[in-house]
Amino acid sequence: MKIDIITLFPKMFESPFAESIIKRAIKNGIIDLKIHNLRDFAIDSYGSVDDKPFGGDVGMLIRPEPVYEALKEISDVRFQMSNKKKIILMSARGKKFDQKKAEELAKLDNLILVAGHYEGFDQRISDFMVDEEISIGDYILTGGELPAMIITDAVSRLIPGVLGRDKSNQIESWSEIEIEGKKIRTMEYPQYTRPQEFMGHKVPEVLVSGDPKKIKEWQIEQIKKGFQK
């Protein structure tokens, strides 16, 4: 999968993607991740990418030209809707990101994330340059870089081979599983490791019983209860 991120602050992405699972996925060629500096597409030699909004509002808005030029260079087919490619704008007013959306995006060949800063974007960027807007929650951040990192992480781990064992993401928090013929999306069942007893708190006896059938029944029962921390 190819993931492109357009940002004014490319160095913010160096540390998060230089560690652990995503680093390994990039090294193994499972994910092709590229960070693009929006200032490389500035309108002048000063690196200008923003300007004051019409109407007298405060703050600065990202101009349409730099985003257009960046997308034109990144995209194989400019701004055309495709089942295998999506351009997504990080936006506080966008649709809230969840596991279902992560699963949808993980099926793409190319995901392009546009992270803004300052007051926001010129409306024309939203109107005809991107496929949709996504928010990671009902709160205000200083920019779209952290949301882009979160979406990249959530999507990447769903790509076959990224976690090493493809079954490791089948039953986990907010996965969709089938129980008694019904598909449900729920929290993962509680899990335990050694020691078997810690400060008076014991591991449920069924988990050390050695009976796979009873263990499976217990896990399903915990999922039904909607176990939460």
What DSSP assignment string belongs to 202-227? Answer: EPPGGGGS--HHHHHHHHHHHHHTT-
What is the Cα–Cα distance from 94 to 89, expressed in whole angstroms? Answer: 8
* Averaged pLDDT, 188-216: 95
Q: What is the pLDDT of residue 78?
A: 42
pLDDT tens, position by position, 14-29: 999 999 999 999 999 9
Q: Which amino acid is at 126?
A: S
Q: Contact 90/144 with Cβ under 8 angstroms? A: yes
- Lowest average pLDDT, out of 46-55, 76-85, 92-101, goes to 76-85
Measuring CA to CA, which residue among 115, 153, 109 is closest to residue 37? 115
Helix and strand numbers, DSSP H then E, in the chain: 6, 12
What sections of 18-162 are H helices per DSSP? 20-27, 64-74, 99-105, 123-128, 145-156
Instruction: Please say if the pLDDT value at position 79 is more than 70.
Output: no
Q: Taking each helix axis from N to C terminus, what angle separates 20-27 and 145-156, rounded to the nearest 10 degrees?
A: 70
- Please name the fold of domain 170-224: Trp Operon Repressor; Chain A (1.10.1270)
* Whole-number pLDDT of residue 229: 42
* Per-domain residue ranges of the chain: 2-156, 170-224
pLDDT value at 204 more than 50: yes
Q: For residue range 138-181, list pLDDT tens digits in order.
A: 999 999 999 999 999 999 999 999 997 655 555 555 566 666 67
Q: Which CATH superfamily is domain 2-156 in?
A: SPOUT methyltransferase, trefoil knot domain (3.40.1280.10)
Q: What is the mean pLDDT of residues 97-109?
A: 95
Q: Mean pLDDT in the chain? A: 89
Establish whether the linkage from the previous residue to 195 is cis, with ω within 30° of 0.
yes
pLDDT above 80: residue 195:
yes
Q: Is the pLDDT of residue 184 over 90?
A: no
Instruction: Please tell me the pTM assigned to this model.
Output: 0.85
Distance CA 68, CA 130 (A): 10
